Structure 1
């Protein structure tokens, strides 16, 4: 792989070699991507590849700087546009990220889910910011937008969408004067696992467990937890959930720093990714998981029958 050194004057060679280094776990990937960009500074693919490298390594500033320059050169390139939106999101420039996504058009393609993920997650992060500011009207506004599937993001809404995170945030942030709506949200979360047995278990199952326990339905809560243990015994989200339920602060702190294991996929296989886990940890950091008991007051439980 290194026999050619830096002799080829064909930039795709360096992108390909960088990809091989990544798959094999070999060093030198950054150098190859920098070489590709140096050889073809006016091509968009080296810009995107280099920005993605920095994003994967959590160097958000470098990733943003590179793709911002590239998008200025290619303002109609939605690959660069989506990467820029993601970088803006990671650098907490949420309004800019949302505005950018509102004004771009992503053509339907295999990777179009990336755009909708960035759309949802930008609005979820905005909702968390509004929670910290105690602006609950803005919280509900962003949660409502997080549920949407804009046509310009290049992917249509599937038949089934897991919205337990949005439901939970709306439940704990909405006023008690709409008990019927809050009861519906509560039911959607607590009945989700029974009604969607084939959906992969994830950090969102912790929300159902908490609400079930809050209403003394320990049998159903324990059933969900035991089934999760059986199906995904090594899942990081499961271990974190158990530490939380057992009030093991040391384990919570340790597991919060770990990254989920990346499973190998077969060709054309789409692996499940627990994209909500970071938001569950954010709920914990803000003390909002404890509010599950407050969400279940007498007015709410009276509407569950």
Structure 2
């Protein structure tokens, strides 16, 4: 009910129905069902139309189209139907039974959007047998709508068989759990060392997700090609390992024989032709790639580059216009427009639409797209538009070195900047920091070491823990020490040193305060935990007003909830409840921690009152435990589980009237009680 005040009407709650393109929203366990995780082929583009529409006053929903929503049901020999217009309607709604003359409903509808109509007629058939039409549009064809496909995997299917292991490997890869996928592929190869698809897929994982493991991928793919020279994926991956045209033409040529790999393979050949400045050949490959897949957006972008390089500017501008029609937010197209026109308005249009949380990363992505084509000048020009950030300057330095220019000043400037917003994650990022590691400038060397550590962590190139122990950077940056504490979480002394170092550097950071307080509380220093939390919240705790606290609201509710948890551990339940009651926690999907804590505090406080024989007060607190305060950010479900508090309230009433608890009540309660709630019940013994 928490959302009702946010609605624009005042007639109660609403229900949001969703229907997607797939059969389910696949979770981890879906791989053991028929409904696996799906993936994309290289250079594919997918599009579909989504319909979002409100429906009102239909008392349910059984059928919907972009024009009309219907609710049909048969009750006591009557066919009852409600209709809500989604679009303006001026057509005939017909409901009939196929192959008979039975036409229960034939009604002309003239409705504006969200206008409704309802009716009923004597009819006792089955709704599923009705053919429903609105004008010429068939809404239902009179056939049962239930799925006829299997909904569960065979119980006797052997998931440890060769195919079972391979199926799990593919699904894990589609979930982007690449290391787990590799483990299962190795198991397949142990069972059958010539399982071609497993060899190729493992080679792909090594090639794309284990930086520097190309040498491990090569023998696997070569083994597959020795068994099947025409294996499309093996040829495509082998072609990817060939940098020049001569080596790659053979493999991409064979891969292009397969329809799924034809457009990607030809696109890769076009890239190699562009690197060699063979513009006519590149154009030829691109036309073939687009013939195979007209929505290959990389090929469409490459086509613009080739047209510009061939001085066909009018054609390039035409292609840009067409691409922007298909993809209005395509930043690359707008940048190409600036290269051709050099107009100030076009330059503003390019940079003005890059408004992401980390805009510099968008500029870097565009620059590196040119970099893979060896078009370093264009890449540098992109970075001229980018805000001054560490990674931007480092990539500027790298691109200048590719053009045999000295970009050292950009690197040194970058290494003197704050490490805020630096998240290296690309294959080439770690190479940017290698020169800095040997710098005579100690500060620059330390920052380079830190960035190399981040890249190694993201790309899993080496063991990040090993870097921490062997060549730990010494930088004054609290998030680094928070990360160190997380990586070394099994080493208590290292964690404590890292967290206290983070606090020394930035005692005002709510993240640092929260993490250090958690550590103290978990390691027997609860008073320290409460004190450090209280120091951060001092002003707020005095007035319970956000405006005078000097802190953002999100910091108050995050640390305030932590304070309530710490006070609970200290047995100060009433204080903890006062803190929770003062907070305003923003509702978010699935959030229930604050309410769970609120309920537990009330029950624990009631148990304390029970021990003091204050049964009437305990009863009132248990009543409070059943509430769902709006400020805690969790909406009350339709059927909350209050069995524990119901029983405890009954027990308090029995104590007030000096009755004995009924054993049957206890048996009924504890039958399906969770271990967590059972522990709360024991507080009243």
Q: Give the TM bin, normalised by the shorter chain.
A: 0.5 to 0.7
Matched, 1:104 2:583: yes
Matched, 1:9 2:476: yes
Q: Distance in 2 between matches of 1:174 and 1:33?
A: 49
The one of the two structures with greater contact order (alpha-carbon pairs below 8 A, sep at least 6) is 1
Q: CA deviation at 1:112?
A: 3.6
User: Aligned Cα RMSD in Å?
Assistant: 2.9
Q: CA deviation at 1:176?
A: 8.0
Indicate the residue corresponding to 2:617 in structure 1. 138
Q: Distance in 2 between matches of 1:116 and 1:42?
A: 27
Q: CA deviation at 1:111?
A: 7.3
Q: Distance in 1 between matches of 2:649 and 2:669?
A: 17
Q: Distance in 2 between matches of 1:191 and 1:121?
A: 17
Q: Distance in 1 between matches of 2:637 and 2:652?
A: 27
Local SS of the residue matching 1:82? helix
Q: Distance in 1 between matches of 2:644 and 2:523?
A: 27
Residue 91 of structure 1 is aligned with which of 552, 570, 577? 570
Q: Distance in 1 between matches of 2:678 and 2:670?
A: 17
- Pick the structure with more helix per residue: 1
Aligned counterparts, 1:137-216, within 5 A: 137-175=616-654, 186=665, 190=668, 204=673
Q: Deviations over 1:46-77 (max 9, x none)?
A: 00111112223343212111111111263842
Matched, 1:26 2:491: yes
Equivalent pairs, count: 200
What are structure 1's unaligned runs of at least 5 residues? 194-200, 206-273, 289-305
- Pick the structure with more strand per residue: 2
CA contact (8 A) 2:644 2:669 kept: no
- TM-score, normalisation: structure 2: 0.27
CA contact (8 A) 2:615 2:655 kept: no
Q: Distance in 2 between matches of 1:30 and 1:59?
A: 12
Indicate the residue corresponding to 1:35 in structure 2. 501
What are structure 2's unaligned runs of at least 5 residues? 1-464, 540-550
- TM-score, normalisation: structure 1: 0.58
Indicate the residue corresponding to 2:116 in structure 1. none
With over 3 angstroms needed to count, the CA separation of the structure-2 counterparts of 1:18 and 1:160, relative to structure 1, is: farther
Q: Distance in 2 between matches of 1:152 and 1:186?
A: 34
Q: Distance in 1 between matches of 2:679 and 2:483?
A: 32
Q: Show structure 1 runs of 4+ deviating over 4 A.
A: none
Indicate the residue corresponding to 2:677 in structure 1. 276
Aligned counterparts, 1:217-228, within 5 A: none
Q: CA deviation at 1:160?
A: 3.9
Q: CA deviation at 1:9?
A: 1.9
Larger Rg belongs to = 2
Matched, 1:52 2:518: yes
Q: Which moved more, 1:8-17 or 1:50-59?
A: 50-59
Q: Distance in 2 between matches of 1:94 and 1:191?
A: 25
Local SS of the residue matching 1:275? helix
Q: Distance in 1 between matches of 2:655 and 2:677?
A: 26
Q: Distance in 2 between matches of 1:169 and 1:177?
A: 12
CA contact (8 A) 1:19 1:29 kept: yes
Q: CA deviation at 1:80?
A: 0.5
